[in-house]
Structures are given as structure tokens and as C-alpha cells.
Amino acid sequence: MRQPLESGHVVIARAAGVVRLPARFLMVLAANPCPCGRHTLLGAGCECPVSVIRRYQARLSGPLLDRVDLRVEVEPVTRSDLLGRGGRGEPTAAVADRVREARDRTAARLADTPWRLNAEVPGHELRTRWQAAPGALAQAERDLERGLLTARGLDRVLRVAWTVADLRGRDRPDALDVAVALELRTGIARGAAQALGTGP
């Protein structure tokens, strides 16, 4: 699983030869925070011992999680949501227009390259050819030094930051775009998502 996630292809070697097959896909994982599913919910009554929670969460390996770009904690549906009295989000058409504009911006930037999407651009290119705004990576560099982020994780944060910048109509990621990408990557709240109006 890790190799195709990284390279976008699968190599099968047999005595008769080697074949390389395309395997670019979008992987979505879902997991409860503990065996009972109530660990992170305030007042929900989780009684799982800490050791059980750690063992349960360790079932997803570190190398696999290192290849996950976005981690989003989903809150339970409330009664008002179920009965239709909750707040309504943006219309789908408005979101689709914003995504289309971001994709156009990405396509224009990558026009003379072999890549079409931010997700396809190698990390080296993002660090050298298309650089973030000066000082934008300061928090990411601190997280890297503290061990909260790996080198692979930094590249993935950069890709997400470029996508956030494209969605905001910016020419390159600034510190806020990187902070949003870090929040989505690490799950550590930094107030950036709320500042952009994308948080809970």
C-alpha cells in the first residue's frame, strides 16, 4: 500500500518479466478514536483504558499515516442537524466554482511541466522552483525540528498549502496557508482554519 501511494504505480516482478501498472488513487481512511468510539467526545462516557486506546490507535502504522495528507475529526450529527434546523453550509455550486478557479490557477502554474495537480509535484520542486512566501514555513520547520513532522510530511504540507493558496486566489502560500495545512496534517489546532472560516 505504501509504495503505490508514494509513486503512483505498482511494479510486479515475476520470473518471466517485470510489469509496471498505474495505481494513482485517492485513499480515504476512517477510524474510531477508541474501541467504543467516544474517546474524544466531551462528556460522551468513554471508559476505555489508556493502554487499550493506544493499542487500538497503533493499528494504523506510522509509515502509512505519514502518507495521509488530511486528518479531520468528524463531530457526531446533532438532533438539530437531523431535524433540519441546523445551520446550512455554502451551496454546492459556490464551492464547485471556487474549486474550478483553484484548479485553473494550478493548471496555469504547471502548464509547462509534466504535472497537472499540486499532489503530483515532487517536494524538491515545491521547495526550490515554487517557493512559499518568505517566513511562511517557519512553523513547519519548527514542527520538523520537534519531530511532529517528517521530511515526507513537510512535502505533503507544502502540497496542501499550495492547494489552500489556490483556493484563496493567492500567488503562493503564506504563513496562514501553511498553518491550515499543518492543522489538517497534525490535528493540532492552531486557529488557522477558523481564521479562514473553514474550521468547526
With H, G, I as helix, E, B as strand and everything else as coil, classify residue 156.
helix
Q: What is the pLDDT of residue 86?
A: 56
Q: Which residues contact 16 (CB under 8 A, 6 or more apart)?
A: none
pLDDT > 90 in the chain, percent: 43
For residues 173 and 160, the answer to whether their CB atoms sit within 8 Å is no
Q: What is the pLDDT of residue 60?
A: 84
Q: What is the pLDDT of residue 79?
A: 76
With H, G, I as helix, E, B as strand and everything else as coil, classify residue 174.
coil
Amino acid, res. 4: P
Q: How confident is the model at residue 164 (pLDDT cuts 50, 70, 90)?
A: very high
Q: How confident is the model at residue 200 (pLDDT cuts 50, 70, 90)?
A: very low
Q: How confident is the model at residue 198 (pLDDT cuts 50, 70, 90)?
A: low
Q: What is the pLDDT of residue 133?
A: 93
| Distance in angstroms (rounded) separating the CA atoms of residues 157 and 179 | 9
- Total-model pTM: 0.80
pLDDT digit string, tens, across residues 41-94: 666 778 899 999 999 988 888 888 888 888 888 777 777 777 776 566 788 999
pLDDT at 9 over 90: no
For residues 144 and 151, the answer to whether their CB atoms sit within 8 Å is yes
Q: What is the pLDDT of residue 99?
A: 95
Task: Kindly report the average pLDDT of the chain as a whole number.
Answer: 86
Q: What is the pLDDT of residue 85?
A: 62
pLDDT at 193 over 50: yes
Segment 167-172 shows an average pLDDT of: 93
